[in-house]
């Protein structure tokens, strides 16, 4: 695939993704009254999680589209007389919001399955705090189009711990109570990380690997659709919104 073709594929996907994710957030907010009372704490956390994700990705992929329009990903327009890397600023925005996204995913697990935080869950929350601290350090070079190594790996390891830990908890408890909705949410989190990990480790050596962000992003959309169908559109006869796993 040529560089120009890859650019247009990315731009087209980014625009469609932003439209779809904000549409799903709007649907969730609009139809909150349709959620069964027992499921509303879960639904509220999912809504806030995806609103944060959409907000951060509006900066991330939206600024990438704007950078292309201004001549390329290296575009640094002047803001109040200071050159600003659009790609870097967008990457920082989504790095912050995706961290809180997984904190909310973890809390969604807590309320969905009526659990309390133990040492493992507190470790996952500590990983979120460590990541936020790491992201504030100058070694991140947020002005760079390509994340620097080894710092890209260092700042993403706590996020991987947080996300994969939350997925493990969701999968464990969803299978125990035959919660099909959250079982597939857990699976999609694993799919997203399977696509994201190669980007973290190898995009500096081969930029084409960055295209794996497309299936990663589609996995997030799948999570939103699964949650919407399982909670917002649950059949009246199943007010808990928790259909059993197929055996």
For 54, 89, 119, 146, 245, the CA distances from 143, given in Å and listed in that order, are 22, 7, 37, 9, 46
Spatial distance between the Cα atoms of 46 and 231, rounded to a whole number of angstroms? 10
Per-residue exposure over 62-89, b if at least 16 CB sit within 10 Å of its own CB, e if not: bbbbebbeeeebebbeeeeeeeebbbbb
Give me the pLDDT at residue 15, please: 87
Taking Cα atoms as reference points, which of 94, 227, 225, 101 lies closest to residue 162? 101
Give me the pLDDT at residue 80, please: 62
Taking Cα atoms as reference points, which of 108, 117, 121, 114 lies closest to residue 230? 108
Q: Are 191 and 201 spatial neighbours (Cβ–Cβ below 8 Å)? A: no
Give me the pLDDT at residue 10, please: 74
Q: Are 134 and 158 spatial neighbours (Cβ–Cβ below 8 Å)? A: yes
pLDDT tens, per residue, the chain with 247 residues: 566 677 777 778 888 999 999 999 999 999 999 899 999 999 999 999 999 999 998 888 888 777 777 777 676 765 666 666 777 778 889 999 999 999 999 999 999 999 999 999 999 999 999 999 999 998 988 877 777 888 889 999 999 999 999 999 999 999 999 999 999 999 999 999 999 999 888 887 887 788 888 899 999 999 999 999 999 976 444 444 454 443 3
Per-residue exposure over 7-18, b if at least 16 CB sit within 10 Å of its own CB, e if not: beebeebbeebb
Domains and their CATH numbers in the chain: 3-232 (1.20.1070.10)
Q: Quick check: pTM over 0.75? A: yes
Quote the tokens at residue 4. Answer: 């120009």
Q: Are 163 and 225 spatial neighbours (Cβ–Cβ below 8 Å)? A: no
């Amino acid at each position: 695939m040529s560089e120009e073709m890859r650019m247009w594929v990315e731009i087209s996907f980014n625009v469609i993704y932003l439209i779809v994710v904000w549409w799903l957030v709007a649907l969730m907010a609009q139809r909150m009254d349709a959620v069964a009372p027992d499921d509303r704490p879960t639904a509220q956390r999912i809504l806030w999680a995806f609103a944060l994700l959409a907000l951060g990705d509006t900066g991330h992929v939206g600024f990438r589209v704007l950078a292309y329009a201004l001549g390329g990903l290296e575009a640094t327009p002047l803001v109040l007389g200071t050159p600003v890397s659009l790609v870097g600023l967008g990457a920082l925005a989504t790095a912050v919001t995706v961290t809180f996204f997984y904190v909310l995913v973890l809390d969604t697990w807590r309320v969905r399955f009526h659990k309390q935080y133990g040492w493992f869950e507190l470790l996952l929350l500590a990983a979120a705090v460590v990541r936020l601290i790491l992201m504030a350090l100058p070694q991140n070079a947020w002005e760079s189009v390509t994340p620097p190594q080894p710092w890209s790996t260092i700042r993403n390891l706590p996020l991987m711990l947080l996300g994969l830990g939350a997925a493990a908890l969701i999968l464990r408890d969803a299978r125990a109570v035959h919660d099909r909705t959250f079982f597939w949410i857990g699976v999609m989190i694993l799919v997203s990380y399977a696509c994201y990990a190669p980007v973290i480790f190898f995009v500096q050596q081969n930029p084409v690997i960055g295209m794996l962000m497309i299936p990663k992003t589609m996995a997030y959309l799948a999570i939103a659709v699964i949650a919407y169908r399982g909670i917002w559109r649950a059949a009246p006869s199943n007010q808990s919104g928790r259909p059993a796993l197929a055996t």
